[in-house]
Amino acid sequence: MNPITSLFTYLLFSISILFSNNLLTLLIHVVFILILFVIKREYWFQWKSLTNTYWKFLPIFGITFFLISIILLDDKLDIIFYKIISSILRMSGIITIMTFYIIQSKSQSIFFAIRSIWYSSKLNFHWIDKMILFFELTIRFFPTVQEHWVITERSQNALSFHRGTQGFIKKIIQNAKMIPDFIIINLHNVDRIVDNMKMRGYGKIARRSTYPFLRFGYKDIFIFIFFSLIIFGVHSVE
């Protein structure tokens, strides 16, 4: 399945959960999520670690929702409980389904798929190539930028800047002082990347090829139409 098709199906299912108006429709979505849970059981531990914070704060959310509803609304208790349960099911379903997508998908493959479609279109707009490249580099080098920030932070600590005992405002001020050094470090890396790209001939030819080439075929078009019709059919009978 093409990565764009996979993203579309997960997003469409999440939107369907969000716009489910009755409990029966929500329960149908929950059943599908449980089936997905069984199919993707090798990702359970990763899912648990990514969603652990949400499950910890879920009771607080439920209690807060209940208290606000009691104070501000004139609804009966059964209606309030229904709203709480439906809200929790919606949020939990969306978080679960998108967490599974994040775990099993690779952000870089999305750009491979977008670039493959753009390359297949035979269109020749250099600014689109630049925009795709910008997002590709942002995703690829973000972990490196994070690592540089940690290195800069540790270097400050090694120079006897004891930040552990500082208050919140002082930490903000200290981080602000670190930003110029951090920018300089990354500007050197940017210059090196730009030089390497120029040496490889980027910019002399408008169109860039792609590898791997991810074909968007008839199967993906069928999945787009099939899932859209199913979701539209489910919500049209609500």
117 within a domain of the structure (yes/no) = no
Q: Does residue 162 carry a pLDDT above 60?
A: no
- Mean pLDDT is highest, among 77-81, 92-96, 149-153, for 92-96
**Same domain as 102, residue 51:** yes
Average pLDDT, the chain: 78
67 within a domain of the structure (yes/no) = yes
185 within a domain of the structure (yes/no) = yes
Overall number of domains in the chain: 2
What's the pLDDT at 151?
77
Q: Which domain holds residue 83?
A: 3-107+218-236
**Same domain as 75, residue 36:** yes
Kindly state the percentage of the chain with pLDDT values over 90: 0
Q: Does residue 60 carry a pLDDT above 70?
A: yes
Q: Judge contact between 134 and 197, C-beta under 8 A.
A: no
Q: Using one digit for the tens of pLDDT, what is the confidence trace for 120-156?
A: 777 777 777 777 777 777 777 777 777 777 777 777 6
Q: Using one digit for the tens of pLDDT, what is the confidence trace for 6-38?
A: 888 888 888 888 888 787 888 888 888 888 888
Residue (of 209, 219, 8, 210) closest to 105 by Cα position: 8
**Same domain as 71, residue 136:** no
Write the secondary structure of 188-230 as one string of H (helix), E (strand) and C (coil). Answer: HHHHHHHHHHHHCCECCECCCCCCCCCCCCHHHHHHHHHHHHH
**Same domain as 136, residue 52:** no
**Same domain as 161, residue 96:** no
**Same domain as 129, residue 176:** yes
What's the pLDDT at 65?
81
**Same domain as 95, residue 25:** yes
Per-residue pLDDT, averaged over 196-224, amounts to 73
Return the structure tokens found at 122.
């035979």
**Same domain as 227, residue 182:** no
pTM, full prediction: 0.67
229 within a domain of the structure (yes/no) = yes
**Same domain as 95, residue 155:** no
Residue 165: band (very low, low, confident or very high) from pLDDT cuts 50, 70, 90: low
**Same domain as 227, residue 193:** no
Q: Which residues contact 20 (CB under 8 A, 6 or more apart)?
A: 26, 29, 86, 90, 235, 238
What's the pLDDT at 206?
59
Residue 161: band (very low, low, confident or very high) from pLDDT cuts 50, 70, 90: low
Q: If you write DSSP's letter for every residue of 54-76 in order, what string do you get? A: HHHHHHHHHHHHHHHHHHH----
Q: If you write DSSP's letter for every residue of the chain in order, what string do you get? A: --HHHHHHHHHHHHHHHHT--SHHHHHHHHHHHHHHHHHTGGGHHHHHHHHHHHHHHHHHHHHHHHHHHHHH----HHHHHHHHHHHHHHHHHHHHHHHHHHHH--HHHHHHHHHHHHHHTT---HHHHHHHHHHHHHHHHHHHHHHHHHHHHHHHHHTT---TT--HHHHHHHHHHHHHHHHHHHHHHHHHHHHHHHHTTBTTBS----SS-----HHHHHHHHHHHHHHHHHHHT-
- Cα torsion for 215, 216, 217, 220, to the nearest 10°? 130
80 within a domain of the structure (yes/no) = yes
Tell which wins on pLDDT, 166 or 221. 221
**Same domain as 151, residue 91:** no
Residue 108: band (very low, low, confident or very high) from pLDDT cuts 50, 70, 90: low
204 within a domain of the structure (yes/no) = no
223 within a domain of the structure (yes/no) = yes
CA angle 13, 25, 37 (to 5 degrees): 50
205 within a domain of the structure (yes/no) = no
**Same domain as 172, residue 83:** no
